[in-house]
Structure 1
Amino acid sequence: MSAIFETAAYGGPGWSPRTHSAREEMGTVWGRFGVGTEWSPLRAVLLHRPGAELAGASDANAALMLATPELRVAQEQHDSIAAAYSAAGVEVFYLEPGATPPPNQMFLADLMFMTPEGAIAGRPASTVRAGEERWVARRLADLGVPILRTVGGRGTFEGADAAWIDEKTVLLGRGLRTNAEGAAQVA
Structure 2
Amino acid sequence: MGRILRGLMRGSGALLACAPIVLSAQEDVSSESFFSLDVLVIIIPSFMALLLTLFSTYMYTKVRGLQMEIERRDEVLRCAREEAEQEKRAITDELARTKQELIEQIERLRERCEKHEKTITSLRQAQNVNVFDGLLPICSRCKDIRDAEGVWHQFEEYIAKLSEADFSHSLCPDCSRQLYPELFEGGKKLHCITWK
**TM-score category, normalised to shorter length:** under 0.3
TM-score by length of 2: 0.17
Q: Which has the larger radius of gyration?
A: 2
Which structure ranks higher in relative contact order (CA pairs < 8 Å, sequence separation ≥ 6)?
A: 1
| More helix per residue | 2
TM-score by length of 1: 0.17
| More strand per residue | 1
